[in-house]
Amino acid sequence: MTAKLLGANDEADFESAVRILLEGGLVAIPTETVYGLGADASNPEAVARVFAAKGRPANHPLIVHVADLERARMLSSDWSASAEVLGRTFWPGPLSILTPRSEIVPLDVTGGRATVVVRVPRHPATLRLLAELHDAGSCGLAAPSANRFGEVSPTTARHVMTDLGGKIDAILDGGACEVGLESTIVDCSADPADILRPGAITRHTVASTLAEHGIGVTSRTHAERSQDTYAIAPGMLRSHYAPSTRLEVFETDVLLLAARQSHESAGRSVEVVPRPPDDFEYSRSLYAMLRECDARRADVMLAVLPADEGLGTAIRDRLLRASADR
């Protein structure tokens, strides 16, 4: 099987994507963060195919994408005040909310867990597609990032084709992703709320938004919490988002340069991951650059870490995981 490439702006292609999903097939979909591998969350056979195509362990829960806040509430048995504030403020957008699951979310979507992670993505074609799925009776679209388990997430339709083209039915091409890193995940079932995965909606933004409503966020920074949680929470694995070439990361250009010289004098070929001038551009292009450098099959890749603040926290997180020992 080779995935059909469908254009998000082509009416017939769009309808074909909806039909494939309603028939239990797999369609990769564009979002503002990364491409997702979509399946009808209400169809257990379709959901099982997602795990098979990704090579993902069945106890790793999937994010459920829905068209709006009202649909998100339906997936929860206890929609907290923090979930309501964050959903109202940031959806559609690069934020995912962990909440106790309601009966309408099948257990295989959540890997048997009592919670579900839900998100309203911002891509217009995907929002329209979600509305059509709901109209046909679906609770939403289960969609992990559309890459093989543990590897770099795709930010273009071509990346998806390379990774999963032989294993899925279609790819809805909606252009390059504007954010480029996976969504911020906030555990809104906890009080105070807890940021599980850093993303484009920064810790500062989440904390100040919740503070206006008198709601707190755990004070532990991402760097502190990673020490214990990487190994425990599914998908928060220490090694993740990883290219196949070994990646080494550095706090400064000077340190990177020293490492480069030492590798080269030992006869090793080196690829340096370009560092764009600002973190928005770094975030948007990081995964494409990792893939390009990886494809040149050097002995080692080197990258510079941005400062641990704002969007830099999420970029650091992904680079550190991509460079972790496997």
Map the footprint of Mg ion across residues 139-198, applying CB under 5 A.
Answer: 145
Minimum gap (Å) between residue 37 Cβ and ligand TXA: 8
Task: Using the rule CB under 6 A, give the single segment among 18-26, 81-89, 111-119, 308-316 that binds ligand TXA.
Answer: 111-119
Task: Using the rule CB under 6 A, give the single segment among 82-90, 117-125, 166-174, 270-278 that binds ligand TXA.
Answer: 117-125
Instruction: Please tell me whether residue 61 binds ligand TXA under the rule CB under 6 A.
Output: yes
Encoded one letter per residue, x for contact with ligand TXA by CB under 6 A and - for no contact, window 189-228 reads ----------------------------------------
107 with 137: CB under 8 angstroms? no
Instruction: Please tell me whether residue 113 binds ligand TXA under the rule CB under 6 A.
Output: yes
Taking only Cα atoms into account, the Rg of the chain, rounded to an integer number of angstroms, comes to 19
Query: Which segments of 66-212 does DSSP mark as H helices, in order?
Result: 69-74, 81-90, 124-135, 157-164, 203-211
- CA–CA gap between residue 57 and residue 121 (Å, rounded): 25
Instruction: Please tell me whether residue 60 binds ligand TXA under the rule CB under 6 A.
Output: yes
- CA–CA gap between residue 165 and residue 289 (Å, rounded): 20
Instruction: Please tell me whether residue 234 binds ligand TXA under the rule CB under 6 A.
Output: yes
Task: Using the rule CB under 6 A, give the single segment among 57-65, 76-84, 241-249, 310-318 that binds ligand TXA.
Answer: 57-65
Task: Using the rule CB under 6 A, give the single segment among 109-117, 130-138, 204-212, 279-287 that binds ligand TXA.
Answer: 109-117
Q: Characterize 139-164 residue by residue with b for buried, 16 or more Cβ atoms within 10 angstroms of its Cβ, and e for exposed.
A: bbbbbbbbbebbbbbbbbbbbbbebb
* Six token digits for residue 281: 């551009």
Instruction: Please tell me whether residue 31 binds Mg ion under the rule CB under 5 A.
Output: no
Closer residue to Mg ion (CB): 64 or 304: 64
Strand order across the beta sheet in which 300-304 lies: 246-250, 300-304, 270-272
- CA–CA gap between residue 168 and residue 148 (Å, rounded): 12
**CA distances in angstroms from 152 to 8, 179, 239, 304, listed in the order given:** 23, 15, 11, 18
Q: Which of 6, 143, 215, 273 binds ligand TXA (CB under 6 A)?
A: 143
Minimum gap (Å) between residue 109 Cβ and Mg ion: 15
Query: Which segments of 165-221 does DSSP mark as H helices, in order?
Result: 203-211
- Residue ranges that bind ligand TXA, judged by CB under 6 A: 31, 33-34, 36, 60-63, 96, 98, 110, 113, 115-117, 119, 121, 143-145, 182-183, 185, 233-236
Residue numbers at the binding site for Mg ion (CB under 5 A): 145
